[in-house]
A and B are shown apart, each in its own frame.
Chain A
Amino acid sequence: MAATQTLSRIDLEAAPLVDVENLDVTFHRDGRAIPVVRDLSFSLRAGKVLCIIGESGSGKSVTLRAVMRLLGKSAQLDGRIELAGHDMLALPERKLAKLRGALVAMIFQEPMTAFDPVYTIGHQIGETLRRHMGMDARRARMRAEELLDLVQIPRAKARLDAYPHELSGGLRQRAMIALALSCRPALLLADEPTTALDATVQIQILLLLRSLQRELGMAMIFVTHDLSVAAEISDDVAVMYAGRFVETGPVTDVLRRPRHPYTAGLMASSVGDKPPGVHLDVIQGQPPDPASILPGCSFAPRCAHASETCLAGLPPELWITPDHAARCIRAISS
């Protein structure tokens, strides 16, 4: 059974599966250094789901790619990233390739980018199984069919011979999940996998991911811009703004009692079920350009409560409960 095998690899009581400390990601372009992720620390236990919530340019996707070391040479990574005891920043490319797929796999917003358009679905899943798991062609095909079954693709056997473009958006997304799960990763990274889907399909994929994650005891880092998606799937959330986590904690605490004005502002500006025609409380302005970030709180220029202190220096991380923290000087008093 997949679940037991995954669990045996990692001792639940021991170190967390993911341990990131003081991660900085800096892009070098035209002789300029642009800090995109700054001083990020977090950990995730096996079998848990962390949602990173942020808007475009916040650094959420870059963080995800850094964890899997998918960023190109223009990205400089500092700090520490440990996955199941492996020091991801120290491993040579050859060893990384072995971990990708087996220990950690990733799914994307657009499945067409994950599949090669000229090979069938069955061929591509089979190739992964042959390469990573050392299966022969016949066993790989059988396993690929089981995987398509697992992600609830109807008529799995026939679908093995389909090309990616022959599947509908929802089925393609399921096939990509099957590909990612083919080597039973302990950690699944998901970059907005439901954003491009229709509403009735989005909920199907979210529920599928939720049940697979539980069944297989898999940990997941899920990046989204949508608070309601986070509410649907996560145990913990981290709200990201201008390259930093500004609020972290259990999903219920953060969404019920947001302590950072950015989190609260995001919630207030979501249309949700607000009565028609009311004036929405919006966050004025727009996120800063990562190339020109001020020394203090990055959100201060848009914050209604900003004071001199906020502009002077980076606010400390204040702990509201043992697991709920916000990087705002008013987090406890407000």
Chain B
Amino acid sequence: MKPAAADSRDRGGQAQPMLIARALKKYFPVRGGGGFLTGRSYLHAVDDVSFSVSKGETVGIVGESGCGKSTLARIVLDLIRRDAGQLIFDGEAVGASDGITPRELRKSAQMVFQDSHASLNPRLTIEDTLAFGPMVHGMARREAVARALHLLNLVGLDPRRHAGCYPHELSGGQRQRVNIARALSLEPRLVVMDEPVSALDKSVEAQVLNLLVDLRQRLSLTYLFISHDLNVVRFISDRVMVMYLGRVVEIGAVDAVFGRAAHPYTRGLLASRLAMDPDKRIAAPPLSGDPPSPIDPAPGCRFAGRCPFVEEVCRVVTPELVYRHGDGTDDKRHDGSHGVACHMADAASSHSKAGSV
């Protein structure tokens, strides 16, 4: 990660993280769930998730379906109201009386979605789509249109050819470029991307990844990048957070998490990557079963049901993140180092392999 350059829009100073998320929680009540006397069922989408994103940094979030990564993205932009927890954007609490409002947040933080078609209004031309946001935020139409044309250039589209097009006239890759341009139209500091390249063909995926890397540098952007594709996350991120059933199981620098993965789930996920080499075929599945339902999960470690090292303690006590520092010590203090939520990583737990990973 390159150190962020000073930016006139900074409120909290260069070293102030762009985003701090503390103990975020979102449970969705499930219709028809629960029985008479047993109470309602809840889908634990995001459960006690804390992390921070520095200025100029890209944090990747990986996990399988149902792990809560998309809900987390929406909570960060206040598109889904959190049940509990705190969001601090550049030093200011979101939604607090002395902080910033969600509307102010969305001027500085924008989102790109997976489905490039569904996220564009089919009845607006590309030019109108791109001018819409700035006009809502008070810009004159002429200026907004001029900016729209500039944005098209920025994302590698030809204003003369594409400004007057409707979304259905563009290919998937071109539409995703428009979505990226729209996210940039308010000159945000933070862009949250939910599977932005997953629906694209491989050759187009590479073009869009190159664009994202290029824009990050030119506009000194900060990214929160969500994907199920480990290779893509490794390629674009400085730090990565692995989620499983609503909780963070491992977090740290890309090299640490990919090179010295400690959580059995992270290891299984990494070992499930295919090699593109017929001589390196996988002989046995690294993990068995599917990710379980996030509705009313059992107590203890969420991964216990699929974990090859499961012991009594795992089914009773929910493991907390334990952070490992460069000097070999570890504790539960939240900082930028490599954190693992597994009883085997916690020397103080009663797991027979405690402190071994």
Please give the residue numbers on chain A whose beta carbons come within 8 Å of chain B beta carbons, in ascending order.
55-56, 168-171, 198-204, 206-207, 225-229, 231-232, 234, 251-252, 255, 265-267, 269-274, 276-277, 279-284, 286
> Is B282 among interface residues, defined by CB-CB distance under 8 A?
yes
**Interfacial chain A residues near B291, Cβ < 8 Å:** 168, 198, 200
* Complex alpha-carbon distance, A272 and B209, angstroms: 13
- In the assembled complex, the Cα of A252 lies from the Cα of B209 at a distance in Å of 28
Tell me whether B274 and A201 are in contact (CB under 8 A): no
Q: Complex Cα distance A265/B207, Å?
A: 12
The answer on a CB contact under 8 Å between B276 and A55 is no
Interface string of B209-231 (1 = CB under 8 A from A): 11001000000000000001111
| Contact of A280 with B281 in the complex, beta carbons under 8 Å | no
B357 within 8 A of A: no
Given A171-B290, A252-B279, A276-B236: A200 touches B203 (CB 8 Å cut-off)? no
**One of B36-44, B104-112, B184-192, B265-273 contacting the partner:** B265-273
**Which residue of A has the minimal Cβ distance to B291?**
A198
List B residues at the A interface (Cβ < 8 Å): 64-65, 171-174, 201-207, 209-210, 213, 228-232, 234-237, 254, 268-269, 272-282, 284-291, 293
Among candidates B234, B272, B277, residue contacting A200 with C-beta atoms closer than 8 Å: B272
The answer to whether B272 and A55 touch across the interface, beta carbons within 8 angstroms, is no
The answer to whether A200 touches B287, judged by C-beta atoms less than 8 angstroms apart, is: yes
Partner of A170, one of B204, B277, B284, B289: B289
In the complex, are the beta carbons of B231 and A265 less than 8 A apart? no
Query: A300–B39 Cα gap in the complex (Å)?
Result: 64
Q: Verify A279–B210 contact, CB threshold 8 A.
A: yes
A207–B204 touching, CB < 8 Å:
no
Taking A169-B65, A202-B274 as known contacts, 20 extra A-B pairs with beta carbons closer than 8 A to each other, sorted by chain A number, are A55-B203, A198-B228, A199-B228, A199-B230, A204-B285, A206-B274, A228-B273, A228-B274, A231-B275, A231-B276, A232-B281, A251-B278, A252-B278, A269-B202, A269-B207, A270-B206, A280-B206, A280-B210, A282-B210, A283-B203
Q: Are the C-beta atoms of A255 and B278 separated by less than 8 Å?
A: yes
Give the A-B contact count at a CB cut-off of 8 A. 130
Measured in the bound complex, the distance between the Cα atoms of B268 and A206 in whole Å is: 16
With a CB–CB cut-off of 8 A, which chain A residues contact B273? 199, 228
Question: Within the complex, which residue of B229, B276, B280, B287 is in contact with A267, where a contact is CB–CB below 8 Å?
Answer: B276
CB within 8 Å for A279 and B278 given contacts A200-B268, A204-B288, A271-B206: no
Bound Cα distance A96, B135 (Å) = 60
CA distance A156 to B234 in the complex (A): 38
Chain A residue numbers with a CB within 8 Å of B277 are 231, 255
CB-CB nearest in chain A for B282 = A203
Q: Please state if B276 and A168 are interface contacts (CB–CB under 8 Å).
A: no
Who on chain B is nearest to A279 by CB?
Answer: B210
Specify which chain A residues have a CB less than 8 angstroms from the CB of B236 in the assembled complex. Answer: 276-277
Residue of A nearest to B217 (CB): A277
Known A200-B269, A231-B274: A272·B213 in contact at CB below 8 Å = no
Residues on B with beta carbons closer than 8 Å to the beta carbon of A171: 290
| Bound complex: CA A281 to CA B207 (Å) | 9
Residue of B254, B272, B276 near A202 (CB, 8 A) is B272
List 8 A-B pairs, minimum CB-CB distance, nearest first. A269-B206, A228-B274, A198-B64, A55-B201, A168-B290, A170-B290, A228-B276, A280-B206
